[in-house]
Amino acid sequence: MNRGPKESTTPDATGLLLWLWRGYLRRRTGLLLIALVFMFLEGSMFGFLSYMMKPMFDQVLVGGSATALVWVALAIFAIFTTRALASVVQKVLLTRISQLTVGDIRLDLLQNLMTLDSTFHQNFPPGYLMQRIEGDVESINKVWKTIITGAGRDVVALVALFGVAISVDWRWTLAALVGTPLLVAPAMLFQRYVRANARVTRDVAAKLSTRLNEVFHGIVPVKLNRLERYQWKRYRDLTRQRIRLEVKSSFGQAAIPGLIDVMSGVGFVVVLFYGGSEILSGEKTVGDTMAFFTALGLAFEPLRRLGAFSGIWQVAAASIERIKELLDMVPELRDPDVPKPAPEGIPGILLEDVFLEYGDTPILRGTSFEAEAGKTTALVGASGAGKSTVFNLLTRLVDPDAGRISLGGVGVSEMTLGDLRSLFSVVSQDSLLFDETLRENILLGQTGVSEADLDDALEAAHVADFLPRLSDGLDSPVGPRGTNLSGGQRQRVAIARALLRNTPVLLLDEATSALDAQSEAVVQKALDRLSQGRTTLVIAHRLSTVRNADKIVVMDQGQVVDQGTHDELIARGGVYADLHRLQFDDS
Ligand code: ADP
């Protein structure tokens, strides 16, 4: 079992931020520093601007000095151009940093999710995981920008603006801030509200993508069972839920900057009343007063942004927690600490007293059999007998509760997963084809395959037979999951794949749905060719395969109940003879 997501230990905000910094942001320190310099530059320009109000009013407007007019105008122009340039540079740099960072997180997530066990993937459907990788990471992206911009530009702007305000009158500045302490309690309440909401919103978003994924993957059954309206309604209900949550969340997020507005309003009023007499008596110049109020006015925006930050952070924290959980998960099925080398040559397969339960249901109950090296062994048994489970155990998609499974004497858990899986080719009718071209589906990333080898494989797998009928030959797209091809064609593609992989062991899961006689004959020929010189284990449904097998292993309810050749088993009567009568109806 995977260590599932932990609900109880919610790391605090600082912990999450540190985790992000250590894991992802630290490696971008260089770029970050450059971006910060430009942000400082951008932020400080507001301070200069408000400071310029003093000479503008006192020397130009009141004093009427023409020289002052020129230099004040030039200075203001310089302030705006510097701000514009710095702003462009910092935005581009910031986008680069944040995209690099979220790119890293996405890649790490994908890498880790692909290693997790099948049980994990049964519990977390594809749509859910896609939402994690895309949606949750995106909300981190947002917080990056806000944190960095906040730290770099807005804090500097605030320091500069308050510097100007204090230089005019520190008592006025204090008076302007009188409302601040009143903000703390409601802001904290709103934060908690936003975070709780954000967690549910992320959940609903994941459910929404799961729905879509299910619908589009299952579009044919959806249509055939007339489920369009049903699926649409389920999606609609979730969408409504999401709308409610997003609206609530936006209220929570907007409320904090709203509080800051109220506080600023209070500040203005207090200063006007408190400092009003000094203004009226002329104790303060118009320039002083203007510089003070410009600084205060300009401080609004960065203050609001910093206020909004706490909301954005709460939303992101909910995502970061989830991402961290996924990244922290480790697969139960992993490489041994000291792996043994994979067996050389063509290994035989041995199962010794293997037990496996799913939940509390026993699936395999002391399964033992041998598939001899270089021979073909057929597994037969009623549906649910545990045949596919044997394949899953061999390829270590699951580990047994007890017993030993070995190839050429080396236990499957004694070698690395990579070495183990390199021993097998798996061919089945639903052998997954990817939505790429036929060529890519056959080569599966193998480079260095010569055209001659490829042609041989196509010929031997009888892919060459239907190739001329495809519009673009090997470069024809096979459609999602190979839906442009027929069952028999898909199987032949999988056989060509296996021929090129050229592994010593072949696991063959025959189609349960019957192919037409002609396809069956072609596929059978291709398979015969493929199994030459390999250890072949086949879940058999076809009479021909069963008859030709060197050995037949009969499974029933997770146990091997009989084994031998076709003739021996028929002669003995029992489960095989019954199955045979039932399935092939030829006795
Ligand atoms: P066969 O291939 O012989 O038809 P399987 O090996 O596929 O049988 O399945 C054997 C039993 O194990 C079935 O009863 C099936 O329901 C159960 N089973 C298979 N996979 C799982 C799983 N991931 N979780 C729970 N039960 C499973």
- As given in the structure block, the two tokens for residue 284 are 């303060």
| Closest atom of ligand 1 to CA, residue 391 | 6
Distance in Å, CA 112 to ligand 1 centroid: 26
Q: Provide the pLDDT for residue 1.
A: 39
- Ligand 1 within 6 A of 80 CB? no
Q: Provide the pLDDT for residue 8.
A: 39
Is the distance from CB of 298 to CB of 50 less than 8 angstroms?
yes
Q: Best substitution site from 363, 388, 538, 539 to test ligand 1's pocket, by max atoms within 8 Å of Cβ?
A: 363
User: What fold does the segment set 349-584 form as a domain?
Assistant: Rossmann fold (3.40.50)
| Closest atom of ligand 1 to CA, residue 382 | 3
- Ligand 1 within 6 A of 508 CB? no
Q: Provide the pLDDT for residue 6.
A: 40
Q: Provide the pLDDT for residue 184.
A: 77
Q: Give the CA distances from residue 153 to residues 128, 136, 279, 395, in Å, rounded to whole numbers and listed in that order.
A: 36, 26, 32, 55
Is the distance from CB of 329 to CB of 132 less than 8 angstroms?
no
- Ligand 1 within 6 A of 386 CB? yes
Distance in Å, CA 361 to ligand 1 centroid: 10
> Which residue intervals of the chain bear CATH 3.40.50.300?
349-584
Q: Provide the pLDDT for residue 5.
A: 41
- As given in the structure block, the two tokens for residue 345 are 């040559």
How far apart (Å, rounded) are the C-alpha atoms in residues 259 and 498?
A: 66
pLDDT tens for 168-207 read: 888 888 888 877 777 778 888 888 888 888 889 888 988 9
- As given in the structure block, the two tokens for residue 206 are 């994941």
How far apart (Å, rounded) are the C-alpha atoms in residues 537 and 508?
A: 6
Low-confidence ranges of the chain (pLDDT < 50): 1-9, 586-587
Q: Best substitution site from 1, 117, 389, 575 to test ligand 1's pocket, by max atoms within 8 Å of Cβ?
A: 389
Helices (H) and strands (E) in the chain, counts: 21, 10
For domain 13-328, the CATH superfamily is: ABC transporter type 1, transmembrane domain (1.20.1560.10)
- Ligand 1 within 6 A of 512 CB? no
Residue of the CA atom closest to atom 22 of ligand 1: 358
**pTM to 2 decimal places:** 0.77
Q: Provide the pLDDT for residue 158.
A: 87
Q: Provide the pLDDT for residue 81.
A: 93
- As given in the structure block, the two tokens for residue 78 are 């310089």
Which phi and psi angles does 440 have, rounded to 5°?
-65, -35
- Ligand 1 within 6 A of 381 CB? yes
> Which residue intervals of the chain bear CATH 1.20.1560.10?
13-328
Distance in Å, CA 100 to ligand 1 centroid: 43
Q: Provide the pLDDT for residue 30.
A: 93
Q: Provide the pLDDT for residue 378.
A: 92
> Quick count: other Cβ atoms within 10 Å of Cβ 260?
22
- Ligand 1 within 6 A of 378 CB? no
Residue of the CA atom closest to atom 5 of ligand 1: 386
3-state secondary structure labels for all residues of 427-465: EECCCCCCCCEHHHHHHCCCCCCCHHHHHHHHHHCCCCC
